[in-house]
Structure 1
């Protein structure tokens, strides 16, 4: 086993699990820095005995960050939130927290820092999510100019929060209301993003560069939802919402979530900040493609939706997982 140690902040999440898997396959030892180590037990079978160790860390507490990177040779930060809850605000996690991780790494003499942001990170974004993502990138590069920034589009794979969400909604409602249905996305497979992270840790990517990660297909929001419906064999009417109706829906959902103390099911949650993000396409920029700052530029051939998504949506099929899609829709 390699003596090289990588601290991964946010290791127990959807992307984090795949990143840990990619790193242990390269024989790195992984320190999984998470807020709840008791919920990181699923990482242990991914590696050898003692290869993965979970420890408590919270980006709002610098001492816990410093402790997490104390033995590391490289640091990966995957932490991000779609909706603020309590003291876990966009600013504290995605802006200040990202900078704190980079500064702690530099203080320990760690030169290899990988920060996962998102396409849509923009200092002038109307969305607090987009602005704080950009602020986090700036803070990371200010502390560690050689850091690698990775910006994925929406990430798909078993356990994702996009295709699983709309498949679950289709089981609950006869209609699917959509805000900004023509917004374009470039979904990217979680395994491809994890491979990009691992290559950055290996030192194969250019330090100080920002890479944009997207899959081989660019589809509209409506087309992605229809793709989901087709593969779970359910006929649902997709209803485009006007901007005003979408804001009303988001306001109602936010209010209901507060009244339920945050226990509104994730599949039903919608915020006004998310609507602001939906106003812009979420695709790899022409500049990134031209300069090779993409998965293809790294030598990674991205997986297509059709090759991955149907395999984990079978549990949502109207007539069971062994039915053939396209027949007897409900």
Structure 2
């Protein structure tokens, strides 16, 4: 942004130091916002300042368990984005604490601050009656946001991919080590979405280009089964691996075993091989944009964004997983 351009205001981004957050912060800075990144460990996020001009991006400490810190992070802000979420529970971080009560805490602070531009990131599959604790907590978080900040725009992305993702990178690493890759929910369908497309959507929402109070489902241009996605990883990394579909019952047994192994090993069990029973429950349902979202235009395309193809992005960061690189 040139010096003679006027900044749009100050936006506080909760969870801005995470995978999606870093891309959102960069998109907002490029779009003319001053950005305040609120996270638990500011010392691990100071590098985000380099994504903007001097003084454009700041990092502050905030914890969802401390409403005072959330309120302080919103002081003087014109807009807010909540990206905080976890994929796996730990002793000090549960789905209920982070994605349900945490979302409520942020929404309450946003309401108290009188902020009307608010974006909340949820996930496709969020359902109050879901057998998955992850999906239920996401739905509870959405309900809290709707209750306290009815003007908020909620985004539900499918699997998110990008250079630092935990999906394509994870299976590429597994393919390097394992001749056989077991797949639970091999026929479950996904609609992977590029992280920069989500970041662009967030920037557009703060500019008033999204319908206030609406829920948008964000997916890429391709719908693929779990098996097809893992096979694609093997093809790109040139690894010939056997993909073995497993039943959900067998998957839950494996997940229970890895969870027990993780506890008994005091956290030393390889994260790469870990799986939870809750993740198995998530794999029972397709993770794609609904027909209702398409019909109402509550999609990336409805925001004027042409989503990126997997093949246009993923090979660029999986090449190094090949035996001989590029």
Q: TM-score, structure 1 length as denominator?
A: 0.95
Map 1:23-172 to 2 at 5 A: 23-172=28-177
Q: Which of 321, 324, 329 matches 2:325?
A: 321
Q: Which of 224, 233, 236 matches 2:238?
A: 233
Tell me, in whole angstroms, the C-alpha distance in 2 between the residues paired with 1:181 and 1:115. Answer: 30
Provide Cα deviations, 1:98-120, integer angstroms capped at 9, x if missing partner. Answer: 01101101101111110000001
Counterpart residue number, 1:309:
314
Counterpart residue number, 1:290:
295
Counterpart residue number, 2:250:
245
How far 1:288 sits from its partner (Å)?
0.2
Q: Which of 182, 186, 200 matches 2:205?
A: 200
Counterpart residue number, 1:181:
186
Secondary structure of residue in 1 paired with 2:183:
strand
Counterpart residue number, 2:304:
299
How far 1:246 sits from its partner (Å)?
0.8
Q: Which runs of 5+ in 2 are unaligned?
A: 1-5
How far 1:281 sits from its partner (Å)?
0.1
Tell me, in whole angstroms, the C-alpha distance in 2 between the residues paired with 1:261 and 1:117. Answer: 31
Counterpart residue number, 2:10:
5
Provide Cα deviations, 1:63-109, integer angstroms capped at 9, x if missing partner. Answer: 11111111211010001111111231101100111011011011011
How far 1:39 sits from its partner (Å)?
0.7
Misfit runs of 4+, over 6 Å: none
How far 1:259 sits from its partner (Å)?
2.2
- Aligned-residue Cα RMSD (Å) equals 1.0
How far 1:257 sits from its partner (Å)?
1.5
Q: TM-score, structure 2 length as denominator?
A: 0.97
Provide Cα deviations, 1:138-189, integer angstroms capped at 9, x if missing partner. Answer: 0001001100000000000101000000000011111100101000000000
